[in-house]
Amino acid sequence: MEGERGRKGMSYKELRVWQMARELSIDIQQMTISALPKFEMYEGGSQIRRAIKSVRSNIVEGYGRHRYTQDYIRFLVMAHASCDETTDHLETLFETGSLSDENLFSSLHSRLEELSRALNRFTVGVENHHKVNRSHSNHR
């Protein structure tokens, strides 16, 4: 499983889901600076920046609590919800014409969908890893 919790010295930075969220947070930050009208910089731009940063932060905070599986899963679920929120903000910016670059919208949108799927798979992997470990410890 990606991010196997027993590995010594492993960092959240090695998690593919965190790497994807990091890259998206940088690109969304750049999008809000270069592709949005000035008035959106502090309105929709601020909201979408906070939402994507929340994805990253929740992955990190969950990873920091990996010994407490339910906490870990709870933070991964929050990361997934923030990913959905980011997608909604992006769609709103595009639908209202504040983001007019269709190629940029399509690229960011597809990457957010990919991150959403990856977060879902990762969360299921953490849940399954926990179930396997519990069943092994019950048989000892």
What pTM was computed for the model?
0.87
Note the Cα 81 to chain centre separation in Å.
8
Q: List, in order, residues 6 or more apart from 57 with CB less than 8 Å away.
A: none
Burial of 88 (0-12, 13-18, 19+ CB in 10 A): middle
What's the sign of the alpha-carbon dihedral 105, 106, 107, 111? positive
17-41 pLDDT, tens digit each: 999 999 999 999 999 999 999 999 8
* pLDDT number for residue 37: 95
What is the set of domains in the chain, with CATH numbers?
Answer: 15-138 (1.20.1440.60)
State the pLDDT confidence band at 2, using cuts at 50, 70 and 90: very low
DSSP state of 10: -
73-82 pLDDT, tens digit each: 999 999 999 9
